[in-house]
Structure 1
Amino acid sequence: MRIWRRRRKTDGTGQLPQDGPSCACCNGSLDASDPRFNLSLPQPVLALGEAELQRYVRVISDAFVMTRDFGEFARALLPIGLDDGRTATIGVWVSVEKEVFGHLKKVATGELDFDQMQFTGRLANELDPWGEEILGRPVSAGVDVPTHGRRRMPHIRSSPDELLTRVLTERWPTADVLTGAKSWALNYDRAGH
């Protein structure tokens, strides 16, 4: 079930920028001036082998993961301010309680208004440079209200946790955040964009 697909920004001439690698899901060009990444699975599910995935995972979509024994997860976007002025937007997974997951399913299927896509849970991914330290921290996520009928991926808005509040409000060293598969976005020329 896909409830969100980002429209890519043009380069000012109406053309899509060609400065990054191709997107794995749509084969479009990725834009280093607006780095966005989706983490494939929640940490507990990512650790499973192929046979365990078949056994324990009931549903995997762009927006939800539902498992036996490991819980339910919803996708949310985590904005991380970078010290070069950009914001990296990471599609992370949030572990949610069964009742919250039921509410989110009602919103996703249209049984409830999309403005009600608001929820709390715990961050279910490790992220550089914080690693395991950020895993399991409480978060509040939701869409901007009113949505005017537009379905957008919820953003992590706040956290009662001190570390996660700092992640959301401070600027972080670009090279520390854009690591591994995200490192292509280090090739960014602020003056040339």
Structure 2
Amino acid sequence: MSENEHSCYRCGDDLPGHARAWDYLLPDPVALLSDEEQDRLIGVRTEQVVTASGVGNFIRVILPVPLDTGHTATFGVWLCVTSRPEWQAVIGAARAGGETWSGYTFSGRLATAVAPWPEVFGARATAVAPGPGLVAQIRRSDERRLARVLTQVWPDSEILAARERGHVPGVMTGDRPRWRDWWRRGRRKTH
């Protein structure tokens, strides 16, 4: 690496100094499972898709966040697609690729408590595949907590400080909540 302090975690190449891109390895509900539970419940685990029996079907999407530097931070987060028919349609379009995937639109619940906005966990979001072979991006949300993240310009320093503190997975209420019911009904209010 040269004097630039940012490098690609995959290939090691230098990134521009303004690059702000992070991937969350697992959806929070899956990350909270023990290793034994993950082994037992995960049916599919790739960089783009995770399915976990009784927990949910998740697809990686990009959460673009405008920065005060004029650039955009991108977070590789997870959407839980709760409807089985919609999940099958999303996976079918992703597998077909090309023009079938390009422009494909789908909805789900954000399954990542993104720092510095952990309250976005569970928010409904709509994602669009920007082109063939590209990861879908969250384009909108009717929920104020996520819509604000998508549209407000954020201080770069605030994003970097939150990233340095690390990620705390979003916790659902109760010791063993009924995962599917939680995703279908939406986020439970806690005080």
Normalised TM-score (structure 2) = 0.76
Identity %: 31
8 Å CA contact retained: 1:128, 1:179: no
Matched residue type, 2:44:
V
Q: Is the 8 A contact 1:128 1:176 kept in 2?
A: no
Whole-angstrom distance in 2 between the partners of 1:60 and 1:179: 30
Answering whether residue 86 of structure 2 is matched by residue 109 of structure 1, we say no
| Distance (whole Å) between structure 1 residues aligned to residue 2 and residue 150 of structure 2 | 27
Count residues in correspondence. Answer: 163
CA distance in 2, matches of 1:86, 1:22: 17
Contact 1:119–1:141 (CA under 8 A) maintained in structure 2: yes
One-letter code aligned to 2:73: A
My pick for the range that moved more, 107-116 or 93-102, is 107-116
Question: Where does structure 1 differ by over 4 angstroms across 4 or more consecutive aligned residues?
Answer: 180-183
Higher mean C-alpha deviation, range 79-88 or range 18-27: 18-27
Q: Which residue of 1 aligns with 2:66?
A: 81
TM-score normalised according to structure 1 size? 0.75
In the TM superposition, residue 21 of structure 1 has moved relative to its aligned partner by 4.2
- CA 1:22 to 1:182, structure 2 compared with 1: closer, same or farther past 3 Å? farther
**Matched position secondary structure for 1:25:** coil
The offset of 1:64, in angstroms, is 0.8
Distance 1:56 1:172, change over 3 A: same
Partner of 2:48: 63
User: Is residue 2:137 matched to residue 1:137?
Assistant: no
SS in 1 for 2:96: coil
2:144 aligned with 1:159, yes or no?
A: no
Number of the residue aligned with 1:24: 9
The match for 2:155 among 173, 178, 184 is: 173
Q: CA deviation at 1:79?
A: 0.7
Q: Counterpart of 2:64 in 1: which secondary structure?
A: strand
In the alignment, structure 1 residue 90 sits paired with structure 2 residue 70: no
Partner of 1:189: none
- C-alpha separation between the residues in 1 aligned to 2:17 and 2:33? 31
* Cα shift at 1:26: 2.6
Q: Tell me the distance in 1 between the aligned counterparts of 2:103 and 2:90.
A: 8
CA contact (8 A) 1:81 1:87 kept: yes
1:6-21 equivalent positions in 2, closer than 5 A: 19-21=4-6
- State the secondary structure of the residue aligned to 1:140: strand
Conserved? CA contact 2:65–2:149, under 8 Å: yes
Q: Which runs of 5 or more structure 1 residues have no equivalent in the other structure?
A: 1-15, 184-193
CA distance in 2, matches of 1:17, 1:157: 35
Who is 2:187 aligned against? none
Q: Go from structure 1 to structure 2 and tell me whether the alpha carbon gap of 1:105 and 1:93 turns closer, same or farther (over 3 Å shift).
A: same
User: How far 1:117 moved relative to its partner?
Assistant: 2.7
What root-mean-square deviation, in Å, do the aligned CA atoms of Structure 1 and Structure 2 show?
A: 2.3
